[in-house]
């Protein structure tokens, strides 16, 4: 092991990305309050004729302690034109989807207290409700001919109609007895207890006046959620080019659902006249994100290894003419996060993590050859048009805005600047990507961000942030929970490392963390911090605090007992403390079973080898512990265990608990409180005289 590398041994790369705005010399530091009032743009949808793009913008109401979403329109034929607001934002409006005429929009709105489908004609400018169902509509897609809607609603599967589900849910709400009875696990998921409903896929034919008719449950009888929970959307289903059929992704697992990742693709007539047919029964792993090419060929994302949620997603293609299936990108060592069809029908679009960026590629459907279209920053979302692709793109240099990229590649053109006034008045730290020799002398990458008030001759305290996942990345992106510029704005140099297990560096690199949670990643963190301190002398190695959430929180608890003398303080958010009880109380069992090599009762060795609770006797570093009570992925008892261990050993410690947050902190007031608590903790331990 070589913890220190000479400057010559380092490869240092200037990070590129969306060009930061020219800011006033008197620009103020970027703060947590700034982060929480930023406007957020996403879900761009280019019209079929390519002349317009509609998108969703979230504005934050700090007084109401929540965000509100509205729809905006941009005329792509008028370069430099100002966006037009389509809805007022008083109720959440989202999921805009074009009809085939390029003049009509369908979208979801919570007006009236229920999420229903609304229709907006650009000619009249007046929105009207087109569905009046007794249940909330969760997602939406419009057929290619514009005559049928596909939508999802949460139903009680044994109920014959929506009214039955509504009646049973209302009766349960009124029942004075609050007990819940379950006969199998997966009783809670992410942040919600099971109420006996399943999200099912429906089709609804549109009348001459645009009103949605009686919905047909095309997934009736499925013991499955469509879209998948907790974060799935309309990417989980697709219309065929003629609008006659739907293909959707679903996991029918019964009692094995908590330890299965076997989603299959099912094809069903839009009218529900025949039962769904399984198209991917031969694959025991995940099949996801079906998309149709204009000629009827079906493409989708597939994993190969059952039970491994971070296996490589590669692209499969099924011929409409012959039914033959081939792996289109079998030789491409990138995992596709999102798939779409380019307007030429000859290429697919794929978003991938790549060397600390979230890039956009075009894939030739004939030979699977990938061509990079956007290689820097984070392409968070995109929508193809006939001549250009509209992307939502951010980076460490600023939050996401919309850009236009030529369909065959070329420099992106900025379309929006929704946070211009605020960002122009704020200083953002310069950043660099660097690399070093990590575990086994293999190349590992990281980022460094300069603090507010930077001067080369000064030395600054360090926030050393460890990402979660563990198969994730902390790269050139704008993050709303772990934003490096907030820490830099508070006077901290920021260092991150994409340790072994991170995504974007090839599947073997991602695989390497499984069954080695506290091994290779810890070596990378140790060598990466040493490399950054040597390369950037303005980082004060005597004043460093380590911070992390989820797997990063586990690593904080692991560092307490396995690297106990390095840091002045630690912040552990939603971290695993006791692997045994983590296994028996988490919800998605496929995750620990893959990562640790089996169930706890059959293979306890790795659970115990990488179990922070076994090293409490070595703990000595002051720690701030944070947890959400609604976190069912890593239950809050894990955080309480950490705090109990610290307090009983007499180690300086503090506990911050959020009763109404899950694995993330999302409410604006809670986010601001989180940032102040964390920064106060760092200040108390790091902001003394420089060393």
Tens of pLDDT, residue by residue over 549-576, are: 999 999 999 999 999 999 999 999 999 9
If you compute the radius of gyration of the chain from its CA atoms, what whole number of angstroms results?
Answer: 25
Alpha-carbon distances of 468 from 60, 112, 386, 656, rounded to whole Å? 26, 38, 38, 19
Contact 639, 626 (CB under 8 A): yes
What gap in Å lies between CA 271 and CA 265, rounded to an integer? 18
Strand-strand pairing, 298-302 and 314-318:
antiparallel
H helix or E strand, kind and range, residue 245: strand 245-250
Nearest CA among 671, 681, 492 for reference residue 34: 671
Are 376 and 366 contacting, i.e. CB atoms less than 8 angstroms apart?
Answer: no
Quickly state the pLDDT bin for 14 (edges 50, 70, 90). Answer: very low
Q: What percent of the chain has pLDDT over 70?
A: 96
Contact 283, 261 (CB under 8 A): no
Q: Is the pLDDT of residue 429 over 80?
A: yes
- The closest of 79, 119, 129, 116 to 98, measured between CA atoms, is 119
Work out whether strand 127-129 and strand 116-121 pair parallel, antiparallel, or are unpaired: antiparallel
Where in the chain are the domains? 7-21+423-686, 53-125, 130-169+181-279, 292-418
Residues 399, 377: contact at Cβ < 8 Å?
no
Alpha-carbon distance 352 to 328, whole Å?
Answer: 16
Q: Averaged over 259-275, what is the pLDDT?
A: 98
At how many degrees (to 10) do helices 520-535 and 551-562 cross?
80
Mean pLDDT over all residues of the chain? 95
Q: Is domain 7-21+423-686 given the CATH code 3.40.50.1820 in the classification?
A: yes
Strand ranges, E, within 385-504: 388-395, 398-406, 413-414, 426-427, 431-437, 443-449, 460-466, 493-498
| 657 class by beta-carbon count within 10 Å (0-12 exposed, 13-18 middle, 19+ buried) | middle
Q: What integer pLDDT is reported at residue 89 of this predicted model?
A: 83
Residues 403, 383: Cα–Cα separation, whole Å? 11
* Phi, psi for residue 631 in degrees, rounded to 5: -85, 105
Q: Determine the pLDDT at residue 124.
A: 84
Task: Tell me how far CA of residue 680 lies from CA of 72, 626, 643, in angstroms.
Answer: 39, 14, 18
Q: How far apart are CA 128 and CA 654, in angstroms?
A: 51
In this prediction, residue 344 has a pLDDT band, given cuts at 50, 70 and 90, of very high
Q: Report pLDDT digits (tens) over 151-168.
A: 999 999 999 999 999 999
- Average pLDDT (529-537) is 98
Q: Structure tokens of 23?
A: 């800011």
Superfamily, domain 292-418: TolB, C-terminal domain (2.120.10.30)
Please check the confidence at residue 341 and state whether its pLDDT lies above 90.
yes
**In this predicted model, what pLDDT tens digit does every residue of 318-336 receive, in sequence order?**
999 999 999 999 999 999 9
Contact 329, 312 (CB under 8 A): no
pLDDT-based confidence at residue 377 (cuts at 50, 70, 90)? very high
- Amino acid 24: pLDDT: 53
pLDDT in tens, 33-60: 999 999 999 999 999 999 999 999 999 9
Q: In the chain, count of helices (H) and strands (E)? A: 12, 41
């Amino acid at each position: 092991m070589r913890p220190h590398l000479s400057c010559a041994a380092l490869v240092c790369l200037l990070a590129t990305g969306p060009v930061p705005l020219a800011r006033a010399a008197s620009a103020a530091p970027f703060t947590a309050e700034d982060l929480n009032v930023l406007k957020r743009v996403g879900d761009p949808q280019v019209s079929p004729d390519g002349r317009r793009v509609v998108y969703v913008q979230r504005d934050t109401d700090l007084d109401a302690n929540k965000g509100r979403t509205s729809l905006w329109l941009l005329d792509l034929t008028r370069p430099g034109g100002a966006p037009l607001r389509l809805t007022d934002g008083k109720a959440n409006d989202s999921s805009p989807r074009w009809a085939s005429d390029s003049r009509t929009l369908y979208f979801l709105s919570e007006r009236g207290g229920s999420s229903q489908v609304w229709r907006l004609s650009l000619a009249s400018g007046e929105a009207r409700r087109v569905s009046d169902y007794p249940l909330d509509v969760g997602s939406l897609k419009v057929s290619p001919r514009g005559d049928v809607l596909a939508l999802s609603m949460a139903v009680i599967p044994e109920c014959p109609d929506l009214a039955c589900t509504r009646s049973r849910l209302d009766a349960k709400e009124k029942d004075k007895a609050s007990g819940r009875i379950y006969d199998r696990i997966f009783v809670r998921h992410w942040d919600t207890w099971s109420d006996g409903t399943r999200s099912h896929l429906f089709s609804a034919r549109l009348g001459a006046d645009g009103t949605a008719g009686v919905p047909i449950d095309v997934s009736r009888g499925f013991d499955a959620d469509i879209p998948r929970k907790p974060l799935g959307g309309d990417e989980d289903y697709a219309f065929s080019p003629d609008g006659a059929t739907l293909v959707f992704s679903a996991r029918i697992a019964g009692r094995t659902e908590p330890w299965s990742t076997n989603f299959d693709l099912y094809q069903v007539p839009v009218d529900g006249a025949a039962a769904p047919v399984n198209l991917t029964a031969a694959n025991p792993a995940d099949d996801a994100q079906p998309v149709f090419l204009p000629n009827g060929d079906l493409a989708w994302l597939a994993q190969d290894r059952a039970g491994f949620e971070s296996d490589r997603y590669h692209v499969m293609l099924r011929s409409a003419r012959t039914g033959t299936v081939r792996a289109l990108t079998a030789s491409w060592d990138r995992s596709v996060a999102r798939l779409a069809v380019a307007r030429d029908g000859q290429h697919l679009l794929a978003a991938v993590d790549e060397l600390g960026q979230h890039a956009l590629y075009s894939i030739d459907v004939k030979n699977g050859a990938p061509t990079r279209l956007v290689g820097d920053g984070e392409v968070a979302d995109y929508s193809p048009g006939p001549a250009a692709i509209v992307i939502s793109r951010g980076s460490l240099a600023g939050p996401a805005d919309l850009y236009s990229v030529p369909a065959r590649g070329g420099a992106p053109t900025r379309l929006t600047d929704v946070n211009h006034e605020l960002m122009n008045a704020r200083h953002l730290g310069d950043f660099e990507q660097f690399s070093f020799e990590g575990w086994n002398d293999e190349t590992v990458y990281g980022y460094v961000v300069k603090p507010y008030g930077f001067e080369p001759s000064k030395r600054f305290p360090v926030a050393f942030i460890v990402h979660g996942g563990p198969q994730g990345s902390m790269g050139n992106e704008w993050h709303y929970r772990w934003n490096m510029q907030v820490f830099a704005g508070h006077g901290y140099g920021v260092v991150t490392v994409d340790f072994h297990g991170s995504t974007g560096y090839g599947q073997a690199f991602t695989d390497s963390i499984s069954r080695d949670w506290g091994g290779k990643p810890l070596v990378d963190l140790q060598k990466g911090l040493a490399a950054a301190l040597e390369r950037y002398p303005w980082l004060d190695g005597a004043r460093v605090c380590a911070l992390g959430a989820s797997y990063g929180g586990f690593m904080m608890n692991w560092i307490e007992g396995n690297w106990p003398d390095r840091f002045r303080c630690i912040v552990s958010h939603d971290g695993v403390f006791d692997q045994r009880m983590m296994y028996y109380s988490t919800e998605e069992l496929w995750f620990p079973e893959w990562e640790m090599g089996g169930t706890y009762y059959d293979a306890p060795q790795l659970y115990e080898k990488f179990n922070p609770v076994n090293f409490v006797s070595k703990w000595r570093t002051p720690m701030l512990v944070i947890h959400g009570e609604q976190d069912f992925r890593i239950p809050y008892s894990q955080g309480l265990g950490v705090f109990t261990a610290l307090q009983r050993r007499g180690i300086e410690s503090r506990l911050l608990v959020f009763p109404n947050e899950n694995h993330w902190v999302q409410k604006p007031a809670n986010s601001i409180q989180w940032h102040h608590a964390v920064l106060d903790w760092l200040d108390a331990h790091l902001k003394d005289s420089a060393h």
